[in-house]
Amino acid sequence: MNIRNYISKAARKVGEFAGNKGLKALLAGTSAVASFTVQDARANIVTETYTTATTLVADGQTEYEVIVATDSTQHPSDQIVSSAWDVVVPPFITIISAELPDNLNNPSQEPNDYFFNYSMDSNPGDTWNRVDSSIDSSGELTENVRITALGSGGPSNRVGELGRYRFTVNTNAPLGEASFDLNEVRYYNSDFFQYKSPQAGVTIVNHPFNVISKQQDFNGCMQGPIVNYSLGDHCSMYDLDSDGDVDLVDFSEFTKQQ
């Protein structure tokens, strides 16, 4: 993300929200960054990544979702009026799309949205409520920012989602445990205190997932003919003879396809 642009925007929005307490003067130049107050790190805003499935198949086609969420309950009186973050994407992941918790409504009508029911800054050509689906040259999604609209305030003492990203796992992915990561995580409250990573008021928690091969996934599903898979179970993709189970007949056909 262009940090200078984000900080300038955040300074303007928070300055307006706080009643023009001289904060607009910070916009005079890039030295404004040094004027920000970094919040006491003894209590942190927790920001985390987690995938909606903990076991991921490296088949290059099954779609999964990773969620970035935040918890500001350690600062119950702070109104959080802006946030920004970079997602560090493992090199064997292909990002398909990115969405806000509520991609349709402003204010958000999704109860799991951290900014649920708050009007967000979203002007044509100058949208400061967005998530990024384009990996840059450093392997990161850097255009993630959410700022509330003038006069809207911000959520306090809340846990909720910031953004969602759909992805697949490449067929050449290393097997085993891995995770997404976060960089340049920043929050501002209505008094223009800044929380940022690393080590300045933000704790990052990256929940791991486990990558398995398609063969391992098939083996885990092959329980027929004694056991049938349940309706809606992903194992149905391996029922290649459509008889309601995954057995040696399916294994024979599966190996031909590999």
Contact predicate 107/151, CB 8 Å: no
Entry field: residues in the chain: 258
| DSSP three-state, residue 234 | helix
Domain boundary residue among 212, 228, 245? 212
Residues 175 and 226 in one domain: no
Candidates 146, 23, 134, 162; CA nearest to 81 is 146
What is the spatial distance between Cα 136 and Cα 132, in angstroms, rounded to a whole number?
Answer: 10
What is the spatial distance between Cα 208 and Cα 226, in angstroms, rounded to a whole number?
Answer: 33
Residues 124 and 90 in one domain: yes
Residues 202 and 234 in one domain: no
Residues 193 and 80 in one domain: yes
Whichever domain contains 112, its CATH number is 2.60.40.680
Give the structural domain span for 117. Answer: 3-212
Region at 137 (left for phi over 0; alpha for psi -120 to 50; beta for the rest): alpha
Q: Show pLDDT as tens, one digit a residue, over the chain (258 residues).
A: 554 455 555 544 444 444 333 322 322 333 333 334 444 444 689 999 999 999 999 999 999 999 999 999 999 999 999 999 999 999 999 999 999 999 999 999 999 999 999 999 977 666 899 999 999 999 999 999 999 998 899 999 999 999 999 999 999 999 999 999 999 999 999 988 889 887 678 999 999 999 998 877 767 777 867 777 676 677 777 776 777 777 677 566 657 676
Q: How many CA atoms lie within 13 A of 228 on its CB side?
A: 6
| DSSP three-state, residue 16 | helix
Residues 128 and 38 in one domain: yes
Candidates 50, 46, 102, 43; CA nearest to 75 is 43
Q: Whole-model pTM?
A: 0.78
What is the spatial distance between Cα 141 and Cα 133, in angstroms, rounded to a whole number?
Answer: 6
Residues 241 and 204 in one domain: no
Residues 121 and 169 in one domain: yes
Q: What's the domain count of the chain? A: 2
Contact predicate 92/172, CB 8 Å: yes
Residues 220 and 177 in one domain: no
Residues 245 and 170 in one domain: no
Ordered alpha helix ranges (H), 18-76: none
Domain boundary residue among 212, 228, 246? 212
